[in-house]
Amino acid sequence: MPQRLLVLGGGPAGDVAALRGAQLGAEVVLVERRELGGTCLNRGCVPSKALLAISALARKIRRADEFGLRVGELGFDLPRMQQRKDEIVLRLRRGVEAACQRKGVRVVAAEGRLEGEEVVAGGERLPYDRLVVCVGTEPSGLPGLELGERVITSDGVWGLQQIPERLLIVGGGVIGCEFASLFAPLGTRVTVVELLPQLLTGVDPRTAQQFQRLLEQEGVEVHLETRVERLETGKSSLRARLAPEGAVEVDLCLVAVGRSPQTRGIGLEEAGVELSQRGHVVVDPYLRTANPRIYGAGDCIGGLQLAHLASAEAARAAENALGEGAPREMDRTVVPNCIFTHPEIATVGLQAEEARAQGHEVRLGQARFLGEAKALAEGDPEGQVQLVSDAQTGLLLGATIMGPHAVELIHEVGVAITDGFTMAELGEVIHAHPTVSEVVMDAAQQGCGVAPYLS
């Protein structure tokens, strides 16, 4: 008799857990209270990239004269942009639904709650042998900033029908900076307020500073080590009082201060699942919770909130839960982290300070896109590659890339780290010319002192 696998949550973690479980011969039920695909597909990664693609095109068109092109006045139709975004989301969501149907995954469209050794959803009691919890996260709010028509989280962006003239973004992390990059080319006057001393905390400080400079060149106003003390509501605008000083008048406020797990009040603790102080599901290296029949994966277990990591965790959780071979730990050593700003920023492995903190003597390899023919030809030469290696062994430890196609280029370094390449070996891989990927080879060669143009 096949094992009964129940998956709670149908985002990029839950979908994969369910489909992998079906591949392994389990009888799978997937419980999701909203749309399949979760936040990433419906209210996060995918819709934001659909709109960011439009912003990138607008940015290019504004510079058309540099390329010898004559264009008329640039106009924007936000309802049509939203429609295009919705069409992309629907197409992908139907793909998830079709995959579940092909694999025999039963989808229950209801909110699930653990009761005893069953999950109650849509009036049904659903027994299970193994349960994988993939309930994800939701946007966090801030005390004193009451959400409403003019104060929204990222979820509220997808329903906008007018481009705001003046936008305040509270939070200079990944979400806040991506939205700044989205709205600035559409003509919005954007102000970003960040409590910490740099944007994109966790990114190499030099890269973050350069990104801030480029963001400000697009007209974005940035306030670091600043908080919104209060919002004053007028007839047609908001006035934000800033601390330690200053004020800004805007039409819309976007609160982008992170996300919180959706784990409270669904019976997890009563089932013996331990939750952290912030509400994340506590799992061991094999993704097991304190209840040996229950596993966790994705954003709800904490750590990096990345759809691709969530999917990888979910596949491993399903395999371990169903006894597919010997249990395997979840290895997060090489996980690309991509930020879809302009320019794009991507990291993998250890950054320089992290490597030093772990006791490595660090050697850096660095190269700028400014010297790359294709980046110049595309009119997008800002940014650089920084490779991190161990000075004694030469082994690659990590990388930070900011520049054109950074979110694609980072995977080359990820593969190199996984396969145990040294910086010298990466530099010896012949890269086609002219391509933007040459900058990775140049950085590796520079770190070894053999780059023809840089050493």
Per-residue model confidence as pLDDT tens digits over 142-178: 888 889 989 999 999 999 999 999 999 999 999 999 9
pLDDT, greater one: 234 or 189: 189
Cα–Cα dist 83/62, whole Å: 23
Specify if 334 maps to a domain.
Answer: no
In the structure, what pLDDT confidence band is assigned to residue 234 with cuts at 50, 70 and 90? Answer: confident
Please check whether residues 70 and 168 belong to one and the same domain: no
Tell me the average pLDDT across 16-25. Answer: 97
Q: Are residues 213 and 294 in the same domain?
A: no
Pair (39, 90) in one structural domain: yes
Do 13 and 132 belong together in one domain? yes
For 254, counting Cβ atoms within 10 Å of its Cβ (0-12 exposed, 13-18 middle, 19+ buried), the class is: buried
> Does any domain span residue 284?
yes
CATH of the domain at 430: 3.30.390.30
The closest of 21, 15, 160 to 82, measured between CA atoms, is: 160
Q: 388 lies in a domain?
A: yes
Helix (H) or strand (E) holding 446: helix 438-447
The residue segments making up the domain with residue 443 are: 343-447
Whether 83 and 163 share a structural domain: no
Of the candidates 128, 117, 123, 54, the one whose C-alpha atom is nearest the C-alpha of residue 85 is: 54
Asked if residue 412 belongs to a domain, the reply is: yes
Q: 328 in a domain, yes or no? A: no
Q: Read off the CATH number of the domain in which 100 is found.
A: 3.50.50.60
Answer whether residue 455 shows pLDDT above 70: no
Question: How far apart (Å, rounded) are the C-alpha atoms in residues 358 and 207?
Answer: 21
Query: Smallest Cα–Cα separation from 191: which of 216, 210, 157, 174?
Result: 216
Question: pLDDT tens digits for 407-431?
Answer: 999 999 999 999 999 999 999 999 9
Examine the domain organization and report whether 253 and 283 are in the same domain: no
- Final residue of a domain: which of 268, 287, 321? 321
Can you give the pTM of this predicted structure? Answer: 0.95
Q: pLDDT category, 81, cuts 50, 70, 90?
A: very high
Whole-number pLDDT of residue 236: 84
DSSP H or E segment with residue 79: helix 78-103
Domain identity same for 74 and 156: no
Give the catalytic positions in this structure.
433
Backbone angles phi and psi of 123, in degrees to 5: 80, 0
Same domain, 316 and 238: no
Answer yes or no: is 335 within a domain: no
* Residue 248: predicted pLDDT: 96
User: Using 50, 70 and 90 to split pLDDT, how confident is the model at 453?
Assistant: confident
Percent of the chain's residues with pLDDT above 70: 100
Q: How far is CA 121 from CA 22, 114, 150, 280, 298, in A?
A: 20, 9, 34, 22, 21
Q: Is residue 330 part of a domain?
A: no
Note the pLDDT of residue 419.
97
Q: What total of structural domains would you count in the chain? A: 3
Whether residues 227 and 363 share a domain: the answer is no
Residue 452 in domain: no
Question: Are residues 268 and 251 located together in one domain of the fold?
Answer: no
Among residues 385, 288, 391, 405, the alpha carbon closest in space to that of 342 is found at 405
Last residue of a domain, one of 257, 279, 310: 257
Judge if 14 and 118 occupy the same domain: yes
Residue at a domain's end among 321, 352, 372: 321
Asked if residue 205 and residue 272 are part of one domain, the reply reads no
Give the mean pLDDT of 50-72.
95
* pLDDT tens-digit series, residues 94-104: 999 999 999 99
How much is the average pLDDT of 289-312? 97
Average pLDDT over residues 107-136: 96
